Structure 1
Amino acid sequence: MSESSVQTVTLHYANALADRVGPAGLTPADLEAQAGAVARVHRDINERRTAGDLGFYELPHRTDGLEASQAMARQVGESCENLLVLGIGGSALGTLAVHRALCPALHNLWPRRRRGGMRLFVCDNVDPETIAELLEWLDPNETAVNVISKSGGTAETLAQFLRVYGWLRDALGPDAARRRVVVTTDPDKGFLRRLARQEGLPALDVPPNVGGRFSVLTPVGLFPLACAGVDVEGLLAGAAHMESHVSRPDLWENPAYLFGLIHVLFYRRGRNVNVMMPYSDALRDVADWFRQLWAESLGKRYALDGGEVFVGPTPVKALGTTDQHSQVQLYMEGPPDKVITFLEVAHPRREVRCPPLFPEAEEAAYLGGKTLGELLGAEKRATEAALTENGRPNLTLALDRVDAHQVGQVLFLLEAATVFAGGLLGINPLDQPGVELGKRLTFALMGRPGYGDLAGRVGELSDPDPRWRCPRP
């Protein structure tokens, strides 16, 4: 694909500016005033890249993870129809987002010749009803399992794995079960790496300098997506194309810096809710993936200097047009604390035209001969215009179409924007200390050795009284 033929994702931010939304908006001077901060954060990012701390920046140009993932996918796909992914958070959300974007909506229901790959099931929770139903439906003779945990010790993932590995062993025997499991984890350490060596399980590496929520372009995402028939080479090519843009120092030439700076400036003005609203069913799970990326990266108690700051915008996912009928009333007339980012697709991959029935009925006649794509686009433009007229700032990430190249661009742009926003906020966007206490308390309740002293603390904090209970009739 030549550079001139590449369709590039576009960031439209005019509706975040004061000449469109009035006093609530930013001015070019507001953005220019941050030139020093932009330069400082850009230098810091480059220094951290050079030091190897921001490994996700290099993923689009690496071939090792891609080649290993494709080779493993070919091997697994020869004998199995289903791939069951066990993981949570960053081990699942990126795969779900890309699978939803690039595979047919009913992918798992189509025959393989139309799917182009294996059925893909991502088990990202430990609700026993879901696990039990899934294992009742899946045939162990046709199912491979990919267990993903960078640390190798994620409680939810290990609990899933114990049950699923037992299910495979019971049905196939120990030797065959081992051939059906692929481990994705740290290349050297952790329980899953030790288990892979002990049991002789095939394994893929998560680069040590890539955090979970930035890992979709590692074997964490590439292997299961390749199994499902996704164009993972195109995904990486799109990310590489965007990397060349989001590495530029000039704010006006860097869409990630513009996106991050606009959101941080609005956050400082009290607009601390960031809504992502795709006008595309295919992109709805991109908003879910972004929700973790933005929240876990930017929600921090401590600044880099150790001072308490309690910062972090709250990401919200919505879907056009569905949430025009559930959330837009709040966005339009509720508290002025939100910035909306639309995801828009110019050309749907398929189109549906309404037949000209009931021409005598004013309510239906105007829709005759129109397409659903035209209606979806009109709904987006109308919502955008109404928000703008009401002084509600909004931006649009516009795709020409949903394909691997442009989805790769979107993911990489948002990852780079998140790291840049973290730099502006003066926090570390790569850690997540706020979730560690919950993990330790869970270990205590489940009886993991070394955590027993915390069990009483949970009891004190989870006392159900006082409470109200519905009286018996």
Structure 2
Amino acid sequence: MLGAAKAKKDYDLRSFENPVWLYAAIRNLLYRKGKAIELLTSFEPAFKMMGGWWQQLFGESEGKDGKGLFPVTAEFTADLHSLGQMIQQGQRNLFETMVRFAPPAKTVTVGSDWKNLDGLNYLEGRTLDFVDEQAFRGTVAAHVDGGVPVITMDMGELDDMKLGELFYFFELSCGISAYMLGVNPFNQPGVEFYKRNMFQLLGKPGYERK
């Protein structure tokens, strides 16, 4: 809550220098240029659950009247093995929003194996954070070269305050973005269709077929 309160104050800026406005404007510009999918990614494993929340937030808020970007998330580097080919050389109908965090205070150093069975001895003495940073840089360069627009969000240290700020940032930008599309971000009439069918099939009182 403290992080969200701080974000409310920081983002109360009526200017296109406001990161919330910029994010909403850029994603709508890309949508108008034919992009249909927004891929939210991060190299931080702890961000995975928030990615799922983001997916629901934007999916329910914008997906109306035949409009809206299809929100999907990926966890890097793991999902580079499953989605990397599609991102790199598939349809050019997506863009990527990549959320970055500062490395933790404690890190792990890569050791060596005298037989070098994994072929990774060249990394001896490097930290995992260093390896992660090079993976980030290489991935962004590859995706941009492949024609995928990449929005990077550098969030600094990952802590409770930062999570609160991110919740506020995405909620506010989602509302602005939805209004730019001309849809109401505060309802979700579409999800009632499957619920009604399901409750009818389950025999829930009040949902009898008419």
Specify the TM-score bucket, using the shorter chain as the normaliser.
over 0.9
Q: TM-score, normalised by structure 1?
A: 0.43
The answer to whether the Cα contact below 8 Å between 1:264 and 1:425 also exists between their aligned partners in 2 is: yes
Structure 2 residue corresponding to 1:292, chosen from 56, 70, 75: 56
Instruction: Identify if the C-alpha distance between structure 1 residues 284 and 450 changes in structure 2 by more than 3 Å, giving closer, same or farther.
Output: closer
Deviations 1:330-375 (A, max 9, x none): 1111111111111212222531111133387893222101111111
What corresponds to 1:247 in structure 2?
12
Letter aligned with residue 19 of structure 2:
P
Query: Which of 1 and 2 has higher RCO (CA within 8 Å, sep 6+)?
Result: 2
What corresponds to 1:92 in structure 2?
none
- The answer to which structure has the higher helix fraction is 1
What corresponds to 2:135 in structure 1?
379
Q: Mapping of 1:147-226 within 5 angstroms?
A: none
What corresponds to 2:82 in structure 1?
326
What percentage of aligned pairs have identical amino acids?
31
What corresponds to 1:389 in structure 2?
145
What corresponds to 1:337 in structure 2?
93
The answer to whether the Cα contact below 8 Å between 1:246 and 1:257 also exists between their aligned partners in 2 is: no
What corresponds to 1:368 in structure 2?
124
Runs of 4 or more above 3 Å deviation: 356-363
Unaligned residue ranges in structure 2 (runs of 5+):
none
Deviations 1:66-105 (A, max 9, x none): xxxxxxxxxxxxxxxxxxxxxxxxxxxxxxxxxxxxxxxx
Instruction: Identify if the C-alpha distance between structure 1 residues 329 and 360 changes in structure 2 by more than 3 Å, giving closer, same or farther.
Output: closer
Aligned residues: 210
Letter aligned with residue 203 of structure 2:
G
Cα distance between partner residues in 2 of 1:278 and 1:352: 19
Letter aligned with residue 262 of structure 1:
I
Cα distance between partner residues in 1 of 2:80 and 2:27: 22
Deviations 1:137-186 (A, max 9, x none): xxxxxxxxxxxxxxxxxxxxxxxxxxxxxxxxxxxxxxxxxxxxxxxxxx
* Higher Rg of the two aligned structures: 1
Deviations 1:255-288 (A, max 9, x none): 1111111111111111110001111111111111
* 1:295 Cα offset (Å): 0.4
**1:270 has 2:26 as partner:** no
Deviations 1:440-459 (A, max 9, x none): 222222223332125xxxxx
Of residues 444-453 and 324-333 in structure 1, the stretch that sits farther from structure 2 once superposed is 444-453
RMSD after superposition: 1.8
What corresponds to 2:2 in structure 1?
237
What corresponds to 1:50 in structure 2?
none
Cα distance between partner residues in 2 of 1:365 and 1:439: 55
Structure 2 residue corresponding to 1:447, chosen from 203, 206, 209: 203
Cα distance between partner residues in 2 of 1:392 and 1:407: 27
Letter aligned with residue 74 of structure 2:
A
Letter aligned with residue 311 of structure 1:
K
Letter aligned with residue 97 of structure 2:
T
Structure 1 residue corresponding to 2:21, chosen from 250, 257, 260: 257
Letter aligned with residue 343 of structure 1:
V
Cα distance between partner residues in 2 of 1:450 and 1:318: 39
Deviations 1:228-259 (A, max 9, x none): xxxxxxxx11111211233321011x111111
